[in-house]
Structure 1
Amino acid sequence: MAVFMLQLADGVDAVVEADAAGRTAAGDIVLERTDRRGRAERLGTYQAETVTAVFRRCRADGGLYSWIPQPNDGTWWCY
């Protein structure tokens, strides 16, 4: 399980726990978790124009936890 922060266009930050976050070809941000049987289940989808940035909380250089920015363009998945 990972923690993601989405900065939204309306100025609010959404912090979500999910197994994966991804950016689709259309630019939408999707959040998924895996059930006990290993099947991916969509937690939510944020339309491209509503999200200004996506971060994943993880250990950075030096061992401290930090918000690591995810790419603002292209298709990607982060676990």
Structure 2
Amino acid sequence: MAVFMLQLADGADALVEADAAGRTASGEIVLERTDRHGRAERLRTYQADAVTAVYRRSPADGGLYSWIPQPSDGTWWCY
């Protein structure tokens, strides 16, 4: 389980615990968790224009935890 922070276009931030976050080919941001059988379940989907940035909380260089920015374009998945 990871913690993701989404900066939303309306100025709010959303913190979400999920197993994965991704950006689809259409630009949507999706957050998923895995059920006990290993199947991915979508927790939440954000429209492309609703999210300005996505960050994952994880260790940076030197081992300190910080918010690591995810790509702002293209298709990606972060676990």
Alignment TM-score, normalising by the size of structure 1: 0.99
Q: What's 1:69 paired with?
A: 69
Partner of 1:51: 51
What runs of 5+ residues in structure 1 fail to find an aligned partner? none
Secondary structure, in 3 states, of the residue corresponding to 1:41?
strand
Q: Show CA shifts across 1:29-56 (max 9, x none).
A: 0000000010100001000000000000
Matches within 5 A, 1:1-79: 1-79=1-79
Equivalent position amino acid for 1:7 in 2: Q
* CA RMSD, Structure 1 to Structure 2 (Å): 0.3
- The one-letter amino acid of 1:30's match is V
Percent identity, please: 85
User: Please, which runs of 5 or more residues in structure 2 have no aligned partner?
Assistant: none
Matched residue of 1:16: which SS? strand
CA separation in 1, counterparts of 2:43 and 2:25?
Answer: 18
